[in-house]
Structure 1
Amino acid sequence: MASTPDDDLDLLEGDVLQDDDKEESRRREAITLALLVALLAADANDEAKRQQRAMNKFVLHRADLLSNPRGETTWTRMYDNRSDSAFITTMGVNVKTFHLILNGVFAQYWNTTPIPCPDTSTTGPPRPHRCSLDAVGALGLALHYLCSTAYEISLQQMFALIPATTSCYILFSLAILLKTLRGMEHGHISWPVGEQFEQYAEVVRKRHGLLYGAFGSVDGLNLACQVSADLKIENACFNGWLHNHYISSVIVFNALGMIIWAKLNCPGSWHDSRIALSLHCRLRDETLEGYYLVADSAFPRGSYSSCSFYNPCRGKPGKPL
């Protein structure tokens, strides 16, 4: 039976529709394949980034440390030994001074104040028994941090603490240590008054018979610091004489070795004499006649400091240059 023109037209339209469906199907498959490739590439990129971060993030985990920070650690071994030499070498204080600070309400603050953490409430009751360190360990950690230039990783090994806990405990311990020292009479820095000048001068005279009236000494201290990204700060901290970046301070000690005056954290580019300008006023206005500090050539005696310092290379005090 012969087909009519209408039948041929219907067949042609059917073939066209089938071709369109196949083309649409291929287009969808291509789009789907492209999306899968993009997703796989994104996953591979994320995995590469995670691996890179893991390689760059070298930290100590709990499995890498001793299991109990309150147990047998380097710190507890040193503390149990109670050696003045070890305490002074690592923390700058002897055993007696350590316990003086500890019992001077540092332990009370540690045991009664909640440690501020992002995932805990600061208004809740403290739980010192749940802390990795007790008050003794916390004070030891703070003093080690202040007296050492070592990286925190060394403290993590010594106290068996993971990095996050170490940073948190250091910040909290320093805060309560400052609060403790401010409330202690032994922690005050004060200028001598009255008969104290003669008491300190007598200590010097017993050892150095030709020094009459010297009640202490003054010297500068340069502490190396990191280079700031801020050019102004970087330039201010650079010491051209020492060819490095420093934070400078000037400290006055009495004859017993106690600090009686200090100017701290000045830019390293400042000269010691510039940092000590306010010290001249203290010597002129609050020091008894005839008493002075022993200093090196970094502290000149000019018209503004007629009775400030004694320098063996420059003659007796009281004679301005």
Structure 2
Amino acid sequence: MRCRHYLTVQCMDSPSDSARMMLYRPAFHQLLHRFTEFYTIPNLNSRGRPAKLRYHHRILGLVLSFYVESMEQSTLWTLFGAPTSTFSRTLRRAEEALSKALNGYAPVRISWPSPAHQVELAKLIESREPFLTHTFDFRFFPLMKVQQPSNADLQNAMCNGWLHAVFVTGKICFAADGCIIWSKHNYPGS
């Protein structure tokens, strides 16, 4: 019979060292190279003002900040120095380009590990936490705040009364090495 042991905060690495919290410089440059193929920045011409966002790394940073940071859009406008209309237009185009760039791109695929790889991952966890045997992953359940639906029944189904807001829950399963091995989003409620 197996005993259950749970990961606690003391067992885990600090979030700043985790692959789920940051994109390391080589990974960013690799993604930037791929993103550049799908996003074209309009050429400067003699008429009109120059573009506010003229570099691919700023545009990729904008869309990644929009996805990761929990700040208002007005803060992002200020941070990237772009007017609201430019920000919205650039963000829409950047999201489309990022979607195309990630489609079929092997380094960002989500894949379940083979049984042999599961054993290797379990050994990684067991070397750090000896009581956790046969464990090769951990799960992360972020709550993402969304706009409240106008339909009262739908809003009631999605409302988290404890947090007094409407959320969509994501479920992400990470392997011990930090790779995402399973993910499902848009769970209404909490």
Residues 107-164 of structure 1: CA distance to partner in whole angstroms, max 9, x if unpaired? Answer: 12223xx7xxxxxxxxxxx537864322111101111111122222222222221111
Aligned pairs for 1:14-163 within 5 A: 92-103=22-33, 105-111=34-40, 126-127=42-43, 131-133=51-53, 134-163=55-84
Tell me what 1:171 maps to. 92
Tell me what 1:217 maps to. 138
Label 1:128 to 1:199 Cα distance change in 2 as closer, same or farther (>3 A): farther
Tell me what 1:244 maps to. 165
Provide the rounded CA distance (Å) in 2 between the counterparts of 1:181 and 1:247: 23
Q: Counterpart of 1:210 in 2: which secondary structure?
A: coil
Specify the code of the residue in structure 2 equivalent to 1:132: K
Q: Specify the structure having the higher radius of gyration (Cα).
A: 1
Residues 155-203 of structure 1: CA distance to partner in whole angstroms, max 9, x if unpaired? Answer: 2222221111000000111111111122321110111113111111111
Provide the rounded CA distance (Å) in 2 between the counterparts of 1:219 and 1:159: 30
Provide the rounded CA distance (Å) in 1 between the counterparts of 2:31 and 2:84: 26
Tell me what 1:277 maps to. none
Provide the rounded CA distance (Å) in 2 between the counterparts of 1:158 and 1:243: 29
Provide the rounded CA distance (Å) in 2 between the counterparts of 1:108 and 1:229: 39
Alpha-carbon RMSD: 2.3
Tell me what 1:188 maps to. 109
TM-score normalised according to structure 1 size? 0.48
Specify the code of the residue in structure 1 equivalent to 2:153: K
Does the 8 Å CA contact 1:189/1:259 hold for their aligned counterparts? yes
Provide the rounded CA distance (Å) in 2 between the counterparts of 1:244 and 1:142: 24
Specify the code of the residue in structure 1 equivalent to 2:36: A
Q: Which range moved further: 146-155 or 258-267?
A: 146-155
Shift of 1:243: 4.2
5+ unaligned residues in a row in structure 1: which ranges?
Answer: 1-84, 115-125, 270-321
List structure 1 runs of 4+ shifted beyond 6 angstroms: none
Label 1:241 to 1:155 Cα distance change in 2 as closer, same or farther (>3 A): closer
Provide the rounded CA distance (Å) in 2 between the counterparts of 1:228 and 1:102: 35
Does the 8 Å CA contact 1:109/1:176 hold for their aligned counterparts? yes
Does the 8 Å CA contact 1:222/1:247 hold for their aligned counterparts? yes
Q: Counterpart of 1:198 in 2: which secondary structure?
A: helix
Tell me what 2:188 maps to. 267
Tell me what 1:205 maps to. 126
Q: Which range moved further: 202-211 or 153-162?
A: 153-162
Tell me what 1:255 maps to. 176
Shift of 1:257: 1.8
Residues 214-245 of structure 1: CA distance to partner in whole angstroms, max 9, x if unpaired? Answer: 11112422222232222122112112454432
Shift of 1:204: 0.5
Count of matched residue positions in the alignment of Structure 1 and Structure 2: 167
5+ unaligned residues in a row in structure 2: which ranges?
Answer: 1-15
Structure number with the bigger relative contact order (C-alpha 8 A, sep ≥ 6) is: 2
